[in-house]
């Protein structure tokens, strides 16, 4: 009996099949029977055509590679600016800004609540002065900048616009992305400020503002990455992300926008794990689902509105502090999964990120990983290499089916916001995370270098550390700023912002005036807190 027949017989005789990360069965052998009745025209289409299974552009990487981004930001704006220049010199063609926790939560560095957190997980941005320093010497008309910021996304976008205008760059020429996805904050991450209804109002105002003022800027990056980092399976990741996307579209439509006015600027953000085949299937399934949602459910006419364009970051949660050099291998596999899945831009994590902020050498190696994939392999020479694969096409169908079922469950609660308020998504993700943790603890799930092939003694490693004096530096800068600015003008601008927030006017216009008058991030967010309140999550799913 041939090996093929033997393996197929074992499967038929009931040998337990391994499962994917999403709990879907993986067959030992896939063959033509797995695609019986499968229509390649409707399920695949051509690259760059509906349903975009094979990619959103006809030529994909055969014309040019994906955008290589590196996520960076730590300490002060001066230090982060230095790192950005290093990355540009190393060949990156897209910057991705990491903000510290106080900035993400809409607090200034001198707020009592944020003591000890200033500059730790990203750069501290308190005012226009900090943003000027952050991008000093970087031509904003020539780089694409992604900003990982959510609840205060409008503020950071406006600060970026003001700095670009000071450089002489017209806002209509600026390119980049703000994450601006607050719904996933309620589900998985926690850096929310306002209640969901008010947050959606703010996001709709951003859509409208950017349509008029920054038409080339991606107004939202609807994120599954952080849900995956919190423990979501691949199916949960795309199902909850696309359900959130559906909610944002509804909010924009309710605000009076036409779907084809804003939908082409929507973008997404996913993780890439080491489980290469399921990740490729996940990306292909997500494109197909979103194309159908936009065309058939929302009636979008512009093909660009049907395209699911996405950024990918390799899986930080899969990195280990033990034997950190092994993470170089993990990141290479994860990056390959993203590329074979058809990502539009990619950030590869540094091998030392499970220990501390990346060193300069580690960040450079992460970028080199992408450059090797792009220029030393043949994966960029043909579009969608896995098209027609018995295994990947079958897995794509299974992931799609399971994701649609989960999206239907979200709709059963009344949509993403209603499900969030009941704690549904959070509860599902926590259940999955607990299962993974148990598998690692028991050894059922192997993590090389941690629960198998561990070393008795780890090699010494000197991590990059953030100077705790940064907090005092930022406090002093804020004190000087408040002493020198026109305080009455700031208060007048903040009052105008609150009037817009109480009514129906777009809040970004008075917000920009306040920031230009040197109102701080915390002051602007506090002004809106007074009008809109803050969100308190439910204790449990019910």
pLDDT tens for each residue of 211-261: 999 999 999 999 999 999 999 999 999 999 999 999 999 999 998 999 999
In a domain, 243, yes or no: yes
In a domain, 176, yes or no: yes
CATH number of the CATH domain containing 105: 3.20.20.240
In a domain, 538, yes or no: no
In a domain, 9, yes or no: no
Alpha carbon distance, N-terminus to C-terminus of the chain? 55
In a domain, 12, yes or no: no
In a domain, 542, yes or no: no
Domain that holds residue 211: 64-442
- State the Cα–Cα distance between residues 124 and 104, nearest whole angstrom: 9
In a domain, 322, yes or no: yes
Q: How many CB atoms lie within 10 A of CB 63?
A: 10
Name the DSSP class of 350: P
pLDDT tens for each residue of 479-490: 999 999 999 999
Least confident of 71-75, 79-83, 201-205, 443-447: 71-75
In a domain, 55, yes or no: no
pLDDT tens for each residue of 21-56: 999 999 999 999 999 888 888 889 999 999 999 999
Which phi-psi region, left, alpha or beta, contains residue 144 (left: φ > 0; alpha: ψ -120 to 50)?
beta
- Check whether 461 has a pLDDT greater than 80: no
Highest mean pLDDT among 70-79, 186-195, 283-292, 346-355: 283-292
pLDDT tens for each residue of 483-524: 999 999 999 999 999 999 999 999 999 999 999 999 999 999
Q: In what order do the strands lie in the sheet with 220-223?
A: 217-218, 175-178, 144-148, 94-98, 67-72, 345-347, 310-314, 266-272, 220-223
Q: pLDDT value at position 383?
A: 97
pLDDT tens for each residue of 176-209: 999 999 999 999 989 999 999 999 999 999 999 9
Do 96 and 347 form a contact (C-beta atoms < 8 A)?
A: yes
- State the Cα–Cα distance between residues 235 and 279, nearest whole angstrom: 10
Whole-angstrom CA distances from 423 to 79, 133, 188, 190, 328 are 39, 40, 11, 13, 36
Number of domains in the chain: 1
Contacts 24+ apart (CB under 8 A), 430-433: 430/230, 430/231, 432/231, 432/232, 432/233, 432/236, 433/230, 433/231, 433/232
Q: pLDDT value at position 9?
A: 47
Q: pLDDT value at position 244?
A: 97
């Amino acid at each position: 009996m041939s090996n093929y027949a033997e393996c197929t017989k074992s499967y038929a005789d009931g040998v337990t099949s391994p499962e994917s990360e999403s709990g879907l069965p993986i067959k030992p052998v896939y063959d033509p029977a797995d695609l019986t009745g499968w229509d390649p025209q409707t399920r695949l289409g051509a690259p760059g055509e509906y349903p975009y299974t094979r990619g959103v552009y006809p030529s994909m990487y055969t014309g040019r590679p994906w955008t290589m981004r590196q996520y960076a930001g730590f300490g002060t704006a001066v230090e982060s600016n230095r790192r950005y220049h290093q990355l540009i010199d190393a060949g990156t063609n897209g910057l991705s800004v990491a903000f510290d926790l106080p900035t993400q939560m809409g607090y200034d560095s001198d707020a009592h609540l944020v003591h000890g957190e200033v500059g730790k997980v990203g750069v501290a941005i308190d005012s226009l002065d900090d943003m000027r320093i952050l991008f000093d010497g970087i031509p904003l008309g020539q780089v694409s900048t992604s900003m990982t910021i959510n609840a205060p996304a409008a503020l950071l976008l406006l600060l970026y616009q003001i700095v670009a205008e000071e450089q002489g760059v017209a806002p209509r020429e600026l390119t980049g992305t703000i994450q601006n996805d607050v719904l996933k904050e309620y589900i998985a991450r926690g850096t929310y400020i306002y209640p969901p209804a008010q947050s959606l109002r703010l996001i709709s105002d951003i859509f409208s503002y950017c349509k008029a003022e920054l038409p080339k800027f991606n107004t939202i990056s609807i994120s599954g990455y952080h849900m995956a980092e919190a423990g979501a399976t691949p199916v949960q990741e795309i199902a909850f992300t696309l359900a959130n996307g559906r909610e944002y579209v509804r909010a924009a439509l309710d605000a009076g926008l036409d779907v084809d006015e804003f939908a082409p600027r929507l973008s997404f953000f996913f993780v890439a794990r080491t489980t290469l085949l399921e990740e490729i299937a996940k990306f292909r399934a997500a494109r197909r689902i979103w194309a159908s949602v936009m065309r058939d459910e929302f009636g979008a006419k512009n093909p660009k509105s049907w395209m699911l364009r996405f950024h990918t970051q390799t899986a930080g949660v899969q990195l280990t502090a033990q034997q950190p050099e092994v993470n170089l291998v993990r990141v290479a596999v994860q990056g390959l999964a993203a590329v074979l899945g058809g990502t539009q831009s990619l950030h590869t994590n540094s091998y030392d990120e499970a220990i501390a902020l990346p060193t300069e050498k580690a960040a450079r190696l992460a970028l080199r990983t992408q450059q090797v994939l792009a220029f030393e392999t043949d994966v960029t020479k043909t579009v969608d290499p896995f098209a027609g694969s018995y295994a990947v096409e079958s897995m794509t169908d299974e992931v799609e089916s399971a994701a649609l079922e989960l999206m239907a469950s979200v709709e059963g609660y009344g949509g993403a916001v209603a499900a969030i308020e009941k704690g549904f998504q959070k509860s599902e993700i926590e259940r999955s995370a607990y299962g993974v943790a148990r598998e690692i603890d028991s050894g059922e799930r192997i993590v090389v270098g941690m629960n198998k092939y561990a070393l008795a003694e780890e090699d010494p490693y000197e991590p990059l550390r953030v100077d705790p004096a940064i907090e005092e530096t930022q406090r002093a800068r804020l004190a000087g700023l408040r002493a020198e600015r026109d305080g009455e003008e700031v208060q007048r601008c903040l009052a105008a912002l609150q009037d817009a927030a109480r009514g129906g006017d777009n809040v970004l216009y008075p917000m920009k005036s306040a920031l230009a008058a040197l109102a701080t991030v915390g002051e602007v967010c506090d002004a809106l807190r007074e009008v809109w309140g803050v969100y308190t999550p439910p204790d449990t799913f019910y």
